[in-house]
Amino acid sequence: MKISWTHQSKEIIWRLLPTSSNLLIGEARNPEMKQVSFFCIDARTGKPFWQNLTFDEQWWVGIEGVHRDVLFFHEFATPELPEHKKIRAVKTVSGEQLWVNEEVQFFKASGNVVYVSKMGFEQQQFFELDLLGGSIRREISFEDVSGLEAESDFSGTNIQFPSHLNKDESIANSLKGIVVKEIKSSVYAEHIEHGAQVIVGYYLPAEKSNQEHPMLNQYLMVGDSRGKQVFQDVINVGVSYPTPDGFLCMNDTLYYIRNRKELVAVDLSSE
């Protein structure tokens, strides 16, 4: 099993979002400078489609979601509150801005429609917007929109995210004893069962660390159906606390963030 490609970021890769079009959308943050930028990579080759996408708001902006190759961004009502405001729609492959609406909040998307909300004079209002153009189609009721199923951009695709692993329970026959001791000693662990393979990420206290508030090292391993460890890596050293969702699988590739600034792709089908 080998590494297919790596992508180096100048800033901390804060979040990684896969799409059904074999793209990886990344959010990179510089906490000291209070700046955030975004990038888009071909998940198969590691080639960037675009990088360093920024907006007028330099920090209080995040990814709302992705739907049918349209990426939605939001800002925040105030820095102190998590309430979202504003929608900015961007084409995933090109990074081209499609439209902006500063008066509504994203609710869900389905088909060629984006469902949004807006606080009116007396109550919350809901509208249908055109997916590509952003124009308002019509106003609808809360009952109309609440009954609609949001389309998942991952439907029909083999995208897997890690789930929390209870270190006191048996997780999969494919482990067959590998790294069980380490997992039982871990501060936090999560895993993905990918066919006959199991991918486990776990945190152990670093050596010579403060006993009361130990620094942690994060490890990643892949075990096969025979219980053999076929891949391993140390992906973070000396971190203060565990960070969930540092890896994912799409089709037969494992993607993970190493040393906070490097995106790594591993071919799970290779020997």
**What CATH number is associated with residue 94?**
2.40.128.630
For residues 30 and 152, give the distance between their C-alpha atoms in angstroms, rounded to a whole number. Answer: 30
Per-residue pLDDT, 76 = 87
pTM of the complete model beyond 0.85: yes
Say whether pLDDT at 185 is over 80.
no
Q: How confident is the model at residue 123 (pLDDT cuts 50, 70, 90)?
A: confident
Residue 167 sits in the same domain as residue 41: no
187 in a domain, yes or no?
yes
Mean pLDDT within 107-112: 88
Nearest to 159 by CA among 74, 226, 66, 82: 66
Predicted local confidence at residue 160, as pLDDT: 92
Same domain, 106 and 210: no
State whether 54 and 131 are in the same domain: yes
Lowest mean pLDDT among 79-83, 115-119, 219-223: 79-83
pLDDT at 21: 86
Residue at which a domain ends, from 122, 146, 170: 146
Residues 6+ apart with CB under 8 A from 99: 88, 89, 132, 133, 134
pLDDT of residue 120: 66
* CA 125/CA 43 separation, integer angstroms: 38
Confidence category of residue 152, pLDDT binned at 50, 70, 90:
low
- What is the per-residue pLDDT across 23-32, written as a single tens digit (0 to 9) for each? 999 999 999 9
- 177 and 131, same domain (yes or no): no
pLDDT at 173 over 50: no
What confidence score (pLDDT) does residue 30 get? 95
Q: Provide the domain count of the chain.
A: 2
- What domain range includes position 213? 162-244
Rounded distance between C-alpha atoms, residue 134 and residue 127, angstroms: 11
Q: Among 120, 146, 172, give the residue marking a domain's end.
A: 146
d(CA 226, CA 63): 40
